[in-house]
């Protein structure tokens, strides 16, 4: 029966297929960041229950992105494709929200409402991952849809956070720079 550990230690390397990759590799760093985001979405979808279905779809798309990035290390499996339609779906959702809520000039202070705050946290984590994926893309030409999807995802999470505040008829706070 397989165990969660080998009792041998891994000497700072992860085994992927037959390859051993240093745990400080940029590829593993990005995969770990995506895993963190996916786990965080798992938490948030159980708090922000109204959007559980949408958040679950995002998790599915993140698994496709993780598989595409893992393919850089282990190209023996068939690489799944993140279809352009996934980006278009998110863009459509953002546009629907923007029709109801006017864009704001300047920054918003997250935390006006608990569900909105969780979505802002997801947005911030997504932006961090986007920066790392940009670095990864400089070394390895990733599929164009990965960068576009992650970029739109953070915009979608931002608009969803704002929508929750709007739907509760609350006024978002903006920094006063005192």
Q: What is the 3-state secondary structure (H, E, C) of 64-103?
A: HHHHHHHCCCCCCCCCCCCCHHHHHHHHHHHHHHHHHCCC
Query: Which residues does 22 contact at the CB level (< 8 Å), separation at least 6?
Result: 12, 13, 28
Hey, what CATH topology would domain 14-167 get? Hypothetical Protein Ta1238; Chain: A; (1.20.1200)
pLDDT digits (tens, 9 = 90+) for 54-93: 999 999 999 999 999 999 988 887 889 999 999 999 999 9
**What is the per-residue pLDDT for 75?**
81
Confidence of residue 109 (pLDDT cuts 50, 70, 90): very high
Tell me how far apart the alpha carbons of residues 134 and 142 are, in angstroms, rounded to a whole number: 9
């Amino acid at each position: 029966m397989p165990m969660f550990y080998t009792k041998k230690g891994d000497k700072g390397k992860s085994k992927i297929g037959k390859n051993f990759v240093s745990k400080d590799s940029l590829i593993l760093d990005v995969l770990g960041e995506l895993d963190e985001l996916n786990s965080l979405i798992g938490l948030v979808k159980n708090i922000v229950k109204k959007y559980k279905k949408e958040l679950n779809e995002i998790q599915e798309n993140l698994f496709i992105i993780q598989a595409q990035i893992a393919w850089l290390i282990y190209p023996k499996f068939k690489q799944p494709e993140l279809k352009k339609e996934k980006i278009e779906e998110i863009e459509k959702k953002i546009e629907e929200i923007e029709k109801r809520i006017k864009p704001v000039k300047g920054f918003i202070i997250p935390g006006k409402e608990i569900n909105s705050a969780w979505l802002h946290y997801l947005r911030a984590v997504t932006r961090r991952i986007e920066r790392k994926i940009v670095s990864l893309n400089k070394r390895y030409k990733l599929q164009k849809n990965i960068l576009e999807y992650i970029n739109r995802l953070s915009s979608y999470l931002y608009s969803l956070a704002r929508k929750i505040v709007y739907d509760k008829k609350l006024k978002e706070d903006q920094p006063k720079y005192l």
